[in-house]
Amino acid sequence: MRLRSYRKKGLVTAQKRSCASILVQAGISILKACKFVGIDRATYYRPERDWRKADAAVIDAINAELKKSPRAGFWKCYGRLRFKGYPFNHKRVYRVYCQMGLNLKRRVKRVLPKRVAQPLEVVAQANHQWALDFMHDSLYCEKRFRTLNIVDEGTRECLAIEVDTSLPAERVVRTLEQLKAERGLPKQIRVDNGPELISAHLTDWCEAHNIELVYIQPGKPQQNGFVERFNGSFRREFLDAYLFETLNQVKEMVWFWRLDYNEERTHESLGDLPPAAYRAKLENSSLQVFH
């Protein structure tokens, strides 16, 4: 914020002086006009100075340094000028640097709200709790790609594996919309604090569909244990087992692998049943209880 202060202050003062001049021309006294716009009378009477002409030497020196190092910040630029013997002090260089609009925006790390540890309790019911996570790998030509893995925590089913070079929040929502059409939506989705998963696009969509987003604590992947366990199997049995030449090949092979994972691969935690068979068992038992 401080980097913009000089430039902003100069613009505001010029605007206030212009407003005061308009009020004086309308018949208001200079004293009242200056009080109204919030400037001193000395500022009103002071002739405007073209800082580009007055500081031409500083501007030329700064431009010469930035031509060699375009991404240099203020202090790096000032250090170069002092090393070369220029007599300008840091206040003058800083003022001109900001008036030229060269101040770089400081990257500020986004502060996450406090994440409270959530118990990893699972309801033995299909389509009640889902978990999302991302993975990454590369093709044989070293082109990187990402996968979005969605798992039903109650049945351990892999609901979707979206594959592409980029998977922003809009792509996450689109995948969830596809699952909504296929099997409905859960009451809860467990996610980490990735930029795609904390974006307003996803949070607004979940709020509109009455879905609770359960965020794990940063640096605690064990709090999302079910999808992390799936990621381990996916890494060993698929990503590390094959060499992929194209992205379409990955998408085709991952579809068959997901089908086998849900229909044929048994899980000890499910009583040595595949996820699809376990879901059918849960649905049959719930129907018998209902009747």
pLDDT band at 171 (very low <50, low <70, confident <90, very high): very high
* % of the chain residues with pLDDT over 70: 90
**Whole-model pTM?**
0.63
Please tell me which residue, 137 or 71, carries the higher pLDDT value.
137
Q: What is the mean pLDDT of the chain?
A: 86
pLDDT band at 8 (very low <50, low <70, confident <90, very high): very low
Q: How far apart are CA 117 and CA 113, in angstroms?
A: 13
pLDDT band at 49 (very low <50, low <70, confident <90, very high): confident
Residue holding tokens 């800083």? Answer: 94
Residue partners of 218: CB distance under 8 A and separation at least 6: 112, 115, 192, 193
The residue-averaged pLDDT of 66-72 equals 82
Query: What's residue 186's pLDDT?
Result: 94
Q: How far apart are CA 253 and CA 273, in angstroms?
A: 23
Summarize pLDDT for 239-290 with one digit per residue, the tens: 999 999 999 999 999 999 999 999 999 988 888 999 999 999 988 876 655 5
Q: How far apart are CA 66 and CA 80, in angstroms?
A: 10
Query: What's residue 184's pLDDT?
Result: 92
CB 227 within 8 A of CB 149: yes
Summarize pLDDT for 178-194 with one digit per residue, the tens: 999 999 999 999 999 98
Query: What's residue 110's pLDDT?
Result: 67
